[in-house]
């Protein structure tokens, strides 16, 4: 299995529009962060977790020729806004896209993309098949077994996912104790780390590091990073051994 970090930024991405800060002005490619998403390649099948506003750009950058499933963590726009661009995969693969989401997220997708679900189909609109998932039941996508993990994004339930020895959690500021049992033993852990200052719905870098130390993964990658965290190279020098900043295009092979 191979994981590609399609995007590692927060809802506004980095650089932020019209921001003059040194991070947004950086010429280091690792300081340019599209909205958070990952690509999973497993036994000839390809899956994406979350299709944010940069989905089209991410698919072109990684030269993705097929997509067998789209899995959603939650319904916020920076994780769903690019779903319209599955149309290209519909056309070339000649079949609907298999979409995995909670009932609540499905409801929000129907509200955000009403034209997809209207009775009088318009030619060329996205075609998809919904599959309902929840945080309490494991599920399988094209032979890939997935363990869902319930986390909280302030008061909003969000799903993290464990794929074998790789666990992906974004948009969280609390992992309930009963859900932590699903994470122990993972070799690769991904956690959101928005910034250094306290935030109402995201882990700070310190909070993410403390959580990472609890699970003792071989490597923890921090994601969903804002320009407020600092320059990639400078922040990386401060991190404990085994904890790294992710960056767009990073690839991890299991």
3-state secondary structure of 229: helix
Cα radius of gyration (the chain): 18
Q: Output the domain CATH number for residue 147.
A: 3.60.15.10
Q: Is 210 exposed, middle or buried (0-12, 13-18, 19+ CB in 10 A)?
A: exposed
Helix (H, G, I), strand (E, B) or coil at 173: coil
Task: Examine residue 253 and state whether it is found in any structural domain, yes or no.
Answer: no
pLDDT of residue 121: 72
Tens of pLDDT along 122-180?
Answer: 788 999 999 999 999 999 999 999 999 999 999 999 999 999 999 999 999 999 999 99
Please tell me the predicted confidence (pLDDT) of residue 122. 78
Distance between CA atoms of 194 and 81, rounded to whole angstroms? 20
For residue 100, list its beta bridge partners: 71, 131
Is 254 within the bounds of a domain? no
CA 72 from centroid of its chain's CA atoms: 8
Structure tokens at 68: 């067998």
Query: pLDDT exceeding 70 applies to what percent of the chain?
Result: 100
| Domain-embedded: residue 106 | yes
pLDDT band at 30 (very low <50, low <70, confident <90, very high): very high
Q: What is the largest CA-CA distance in the chain?
A: 56
Q: Which of 5, 56, 46 is nearest to 223 (CA)?
A: 5
Q: Are 232 and 245 in contact (CB under 8 A)?
A: yes
Q: Is 104 part of a structural domain of the chain?
A: yes
141 token code pair: 């996508």
pLDDT above 80 (res 70): yes
CA distance 190 to 55: 20
List pLDDT tens digits, range 79-91. 999 999 999 999 9
| Three-state DSSP class for residue 158 | strand
C-alpha–C-alpha distance, residues 184 and 202, integer Å: 21
Whole-number Cα distances in Å, 214 to 89, 160, 185, 210: 40, 17, 11, 7
- Look at residue 123 in the predicted model and tell me its pLDDT: 83
The mean of the pLDDT values for the chain is 97
Average pLDDT over residues 101-105: 98
> What pLDDT is recorded for position 182?
98
Classify residue 51: in a domain, yes or no: yes
Residue 212 is encoded by which pair of tokens?
């990472």
128 assigned to some structural domain: yes
Question: Domain containing 156: what range?
Answer: 2-246
Report if residue 52 sits inside a domain.
Answer: yes
Size of the chain, expressed as the number of residues it contains: 254
Q: How far apart are CA 85 and CA 80, in angstroms?
A: 11
Rounded to whole angstroms, the Cα distance separating 193 from 199 reads: 10
pLDDT of 240 above 80: yes
Q: Is residue 252 part of a domain?
A: no
How many structural domains comprise the chain?
1
Q: What is the pLDDT of residues 195-211, one digit of tens each?
A: 999 999 999 999 999 99
């Amino acid at each position: 299995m191979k994981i590609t970090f399609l995007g590692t930024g927060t809802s506004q991405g980095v650089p932020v529009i019209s921001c003059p800060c040194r991070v947004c002005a950086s010429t280091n490619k690792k300081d340019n962060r599209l909205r958070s998403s990952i690509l999973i390649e497993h036994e000839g099948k390809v899956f994406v977790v979350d299709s944010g506003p940069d989905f089209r750009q991410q698919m072109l950058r990684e030269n993705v020729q097929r997509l067998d499933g789209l899995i959603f963590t939650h319904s916020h726009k920076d994780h769903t806004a690019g779903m319209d661009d599955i149309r290209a995969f519909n056309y070339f693969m000649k079949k609907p896209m298999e979409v995995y989401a909670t009932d609540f997220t499905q409801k929000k997708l129907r509200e955000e993309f009403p034209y997809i679900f209207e009775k009088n189909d318009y030619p060329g609109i996205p075609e998809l098949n919904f599959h309902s998932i929840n945080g309490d039941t494991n599920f399988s996508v094209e032979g890939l077994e997935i363990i869902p993990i319930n986390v909280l994004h302030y008061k909003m339930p969000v799903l993290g996912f464990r794929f074998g020895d790789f666990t992906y959690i974004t948009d969280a500021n609390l992992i309930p104790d009963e859900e932590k049992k699903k994470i122990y033993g993972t070799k690769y852990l991904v956690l959101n780390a928005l910034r250094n200052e306290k935030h109402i719905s995201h882990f700070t870098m310190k909070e993410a590091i403390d959580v990472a130390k609890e699970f003792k993964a071989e490597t923890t990658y921090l994601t969903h990073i804002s320009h407020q965290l600092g320059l990639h190279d400078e922040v990386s020098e401060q991190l404990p051994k085994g904890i790294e900043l992710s960056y767009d295009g990073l690839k991890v092979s299991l």
